[in-house]
Amino acid sequence: MSSDNSAPLSRRQFITGAAAAVAGLTIAPGVFLLKPAEAAQKADGPRWGLLIDTSKCADGCTACVRACHEENGVRSLGRPETDAQWIRKVNLTERATGHQHSLPVMCQHCENPPCVDVCPTHASFIRPDGIVLVDKHSCIGCRYCMMACPYKARSFIHEKLTDQKPHAPRGKGTVESCTLCVHRIDRGERTTACVEACNRDGHKAMTFGDLHDPDSEISQRLRNYGSTTIRADLRLNPAVRYQGI
Amino acid sequence: MPSVLTRAGLSLPALLAGLVFFALSGCGKVEPPPASLLAEARGDQCVEPTDVMRREHMQILMHERDEAKRYGRRNPDHSFVGCVDCHVSPTANREDPSTHFCMACHEFNAVRMDCFQCHTDRPSDAAPASHRNVDLHESIERHLAAHADASTNAVEVSIP
Ligand code: SF4
Ligand code: SF4
C-alpha cells in the first residue's frame, strides 16, 4: 500500500516547503523539488509500465481491446452500460485544429493511486512492482475506488459470471480493472496481450517494460523522446505514459 | 424426564459428558465421501500427503494467496489453479457435484465455499471450449457494431 512507504506530508508542510527537509531539495525560498521517498526505496525492483505512441495508434483499430478482453475472459453480457471494460479506445479531436488522435486507455497503474487511498478494506492495492490490483478476496464492492479513479479505469461486476479464465478470477460484487497482464509477468513473460496484438498488427504503438531499468527499451524511449501522462496535473505518476498527445 | 433416565441407568452428568465427547470427536475431522463420488486425480501424486491436504488445504490456500496476490510470489505446488487442473475433470460440472472433485466433498461435508464464485471451476485445458470462444467473438463484434457510428468529439469505443 502506498501509505506504507510514501512520506506523509501535511498540507502545511507541503505549502511551506518544510517537506523539503524530509525528501526534497529547496531551490529557492518557497520553491522546492519534491522527490517522493518511495521512488528511491523501490528503485531496486522493477516497475512495469507501458509507453503508447499515439501517432502510431491507428484510428478505428481495436486490436488491443479485443486481445485484452479475450486474454482475460471479459465478455459482453449484452448490457453496454454495465459491461466491464478493462481497456477502451478513445478518439479525440482537437477543436482548434481538427487534428485527430486515437489512443487506448486502461488503468494507468499510478504510483500514488487514489483508488488505493480510498479503499476501506485494503482490497485495492499496489504491488511492489507498481501494478495496481483489486484483491477480490477482500473487496466489498463499495465502488469508492471507481469514484476516486480519474481515468474511469475500473468496472463493477453486476452479474454472476461463469467460465472465467483460470488466471483471471472475476466475480459478481467486486471491482476489477486492467492487471497489466500480471499473470504473464509472474510467469516471466515480458509483454502484455495488448502490446502483443498491436505489434502483431504491425502498428507497434505500444511498448511494455521496466521503468526502473535504464537500459530497457521503454526507459530509453522515454529518455530520448520524452512523454506525457494523462492528467499529469494530478501528480499520480502513472506507469502508462503517452507520446503525441 | 429424569425418571426415564434413571430407569435407563443414566445420570445427568454422565449424559452431559457423553454429549461433550461426542461433539469434540467431530472437531477437526473431514469425512471423505464414498470413493464413487470422488473423481480420480489426473496427476501421479498430490503435492502433499492426502491426510494433510484433507485437513489443511484451506489453510495452505488461504495463507499463500496473499503472498501470491500481493507480492507475486507464487508457489506452483500450492496454487489454486494447480489443484483444479489436477483434480477436476475437463467434463466436470459444478452444478452436478458428483462430477466435480471439490464440490462432491464439500457437498458431502456440508461446507459451503465461495472459491468458484470468481475462480473458474474447470481445469485450464477445458477453458477454451469451442462454443465459448464463438460466444466471445460474437459478443465483441456486437459491441463494436453498436459503437461504429460514433461521431462526437471524444468517443469511447469499448468492446468487452
Ligand atoms: S488509473 Fe485508476 S484504477 Fe488505475 S491505479 Fe490509477 S486510480 Fe487506480
Ligand atoms: S469496491 Fe472493492 S476495491 Fe474498490 S474501494 Fe470498495 S472494497 Fe476497495
- Closest by CA to A6, choosing from A168, A144, A126, A148, is A126
Residues within a 6 A CB radius of ligand 2: A 118-119, 121, 123-124, 134, 139-145, 175
Same domain, B49 and B59: yes
The more confident residue out of A111 and B10 is: A111
Instruction: Tally DSSP H helices, then E strands, for chain A.
Output: 10, 11
Cβ separation B155–A90 shorter than 8 A: yes
| Range(s) of the domain holding residue B54 | 31-156
Strands A124-126, A100-106: parallel, antiparallel or unpaired by DSSP?
A: unpaired
Determine contact: A183 vs chain B, CB below 8 A: no
Same domain, B21 and B96: no
Cβ(A105)–Cβ(A241) below 8 Å: no
Residue type, B115: C
Work out the percent of chain A whose per-residue pLDDT is above 70: 82
The more confident residue out of A211 and B101 is: A211
Say whether pLDDT at B37 is over 80.
no
Residue type, B127: A
Cβ separation A163–B127 shorter than 8 A: yes
Residue B36 — very low, low, confident or very high, per pLDDT cuts 50/70/90?
low
Work out the percent of chain A whose per-residue pLDDT is above 90: 71
Identify the sign of the CA torsion B5, B8, B14, B18.
negative
Give the range among A38-42, A231-235, B73-77 with minimum mean pLDDT. Answer: A38-42
Minimum CA distance residue for ligand 2 atom 8: A119
Say whether pLDDT at A88 is over 90.
yes
Mutate to test the interface with A, among B74, B94, B118 (most CBs of A within 10 A): B118
Say whether pLDDT at B114 is over 70.
yes
Same domain, B55 and B115: yes
Say whether pLDDT at A94 is over 90.
no
Cβ(B102)–Cβ(B57) below 8 Å: no
Q: Which CATH architecture has domain A48-243?
A: 2-Layer Sandwich (3.30)
Quote the cell numbers at residue A14.
Answer: 507541503
- A155 in contact with ligand 1, CB cutoff 6 A: no
What does the pLDDT average to over A81-94? Answer: 91
Residue A152 — very low, low, confident or very high, per pLDDT cuts 50/70/90?
very high
**Numbered residues of chain B with Cβ closer than 8 Å to any chain A Cβ:** 65-66, 69-72, 74, 81, 84-85, 117-120, 122-124, 127, 132, 135-136, 139-140, 142-144, 146, 150, 153-160
Same domain, B4 and B49: no
Say whether pLDDT at A166 is over 60.
yes
Write down the domain spans for chain A: 1-34, 48-243
Same domain, B66 and B16: no
Q: What is the ipTM of this complex?
A: 0.77
What does the pLDDT average to over A137-154? Answer: 97
Give the range among A54-58, A221-225, B93-97 with minimum mean pLDDT. Answer: B93-97
Mutate to test the interface with B, among A5, A91, A106, A158 (most CBs of B within 10 A): A91
Same domain, B16 and B58: no
Same domain, B1 and B56: no
What does the pLDDT average to over B141-153? Answer: 49
Q: What is the pTM of this model?
A: 0.76
- Whose cell is 471451476? That residue is B121
A11: which residues sit within 8 A by CB, 6+ positions away? none
Cβ(A211)–Cβ(A49) below 8 Å: yes
Residue A188 — very low, low, confident or very high, per pLDDT cuts 50/70/90?
very high
Same domain, B43 and B76: yes
For residue B145, the model assigns a pLDDT of: 56
Residue A41 — very low, low, confident or very high, per pLDDT cuts 50/70/90?
very low
What is the tally of structural domains in chain B?
2
